[in-house]
Amino acid sequence: MGLTSNKVLALAILVAVLLFVATIWAWPRLARRGWRAVTGRIGLLLATQLALFAAVGLAANNSFLFYGSWSDLFGQKQDLGVVVDHSAGGERIKVVEKQKLDVPGGSRPATGGQIQKVVIAGEKSKIDSPAYVYLPPEYFQAKYAKSTFPASVVLTGYPGTAENLLKGLKYPRTAYQQSKDGRMQPMILIMLRPTVAPPRDTECVNIPGGPQTETFFAKDLPKAVSETYRVGTKPRNWGLIGNSTGGYCALKIALHHPERFAASAGISAYYKAADDPTTGDLFHGSKKAKNRANLLWSLDHLPQGKSSFLVTTSKEGEGNLKPTLQFIDKVKPPARVSSITLDSGGHNFNTWRREIPPALVWISGRLSAS
């Protein structure tokens, strides 16, 4: 049973309840003196508390999906074991699994769409990254057989997993419902972590002598997707959206590559690259590279392309209100900027689930299928 399984959670709750009942029942017998009685009391208390903490922890993880699997929880490597051909003409995207969407008729792709678990091989960056690709129902319908679709890259925060985008933030289901209700056009979603070289937080920059993360997202990924799926190669065909670190990356990549992406949405984004033990030395002493990774500096000092940006914050609960207002103020034509400002909402899944539906509708309205 998986870490996020409801059966595991139910079992943990049951064990906690049984240990609590056992403690009440056995306590009179263990009230006497002696090392056996004392050891028994200590053991029952510890076991009950551990079971309670485990149940609470599992419930919190099921709600916010900090960890997607047991191996993720214990920090074990999660290699997919897929051989990708890097030779000229080799496959850049390898499909390793297909999943149905949890919607009425979801077992039929033409009705519910499909989620494909893939490995994307970066031609220039030499980075291989697992991802999930959501294909809308129309992609499988006969009348759209020759149609292209807009696509958006969807990024988690750090150190989140791509599964968070499916289970916790429900991007595919939200896109499906918004499209079905006529609020947005059918759109392909490519969902993955911004950390394509775990456990390091690369902040979507090209690290000297290290992972070329910006190249992977700005060049390799769109090229691989367009060669595999019916997605165009023009800027108006491509968008980015992400939360937290993923939000920073979405804004950064679109700001620096308007020739590739027409729109990006930063949900609870920050605006300059983090610098802490998880990132290591990102810039190797280059002030120019460090400044470029500061989006507010970039808006002031670099040409702004014909891109659309969406930023989100809240008046109470988010720590990014001031820099978000600065970002809005610094965006100049031909670029455009929109915003969502909640009255209150913290840096968490509950807040992001309130912002994702309108953000998807917004980004869909700024992209074109052809």
- Among residues 191, 234, 213, 203, the alpha carbon closest in space to that of 99 is found at 191
Same domain? 245 vs 190 = yes
Contacts of 5 (CB under 8 A, 6+ apart): none
Reported as type and span, the H/E element at residue 173 is helix 171-180
Considering the domain architecture, whether residues 30 and 178 belong to the same structural domain is answered as: no
Confidence at residue 79, expressed as pLDDT on a 0 to 100 scale: 46
Q: Given this model, what pLDDT does residue 82 score?
A: 45
- Examine residue 251 and state whether it is found in any structural domain, yes or no: yes
Last residue of a domain, one of 15, 31, 64: 64
| Average pLDDT of adjacent 10-residue blocks, the chain of 370 residues | 71 84 77 74 82 80 60 53 46 90 92 96 93 97 95 93 90 96 97 89 93 96 96 97 96 97 96 90 93 96 95 93 96 96 91 95 95
The answer to whether residues 122 and 254 belong to one domain is yes
Give the Cα separation of 226 and 151 in Å (integer). 9
What pTM value is reported for the model? 0.80
- Total domains, the chain: 2
For residue 11, the enclosing domain spans: 6-64
Task: Report yes or no on 73 lying in a domain.
Answer: no
> Are 181 and 239 in the same domain?
yes
191 plus 47 within the same structural domain: no
User: Backbone dihedral region of 95: left (phi > 0), alpha (psi from -120 to 50 degrees) or beta?
Assistant: beta
Based on the fold, state whether residues 251 and 344 are members of the same structural domain.
yes
Asked if residue 108 and residue 54 are part of one domain, the reply reads no
**How do beta strands 128-135 and 188-192 pair?**
antiparallel
- Is 75 part of any domain? no
Asked if residue 74 belongs to a domain, the reply is no
CATH number at residue 257: 3.40.50.1820
The candidate with the shortest Cα–Cα distance to 240, out of 267, 272, 213, is 267
Structure token digits, residue 92 = 């850049």
d(CA 169, CA 354): 10
| Residue matched to tokens 């807009």 | 150
**Do 331 and 211 belong to one domain?**
yes
- Looking at the structure, tell me whether residues 163 and 249 fall in a common domain: yes
Residue 236 lies in a domain: yes
Distance between CA atoms of residues 335 and 114, nearest Å? 34
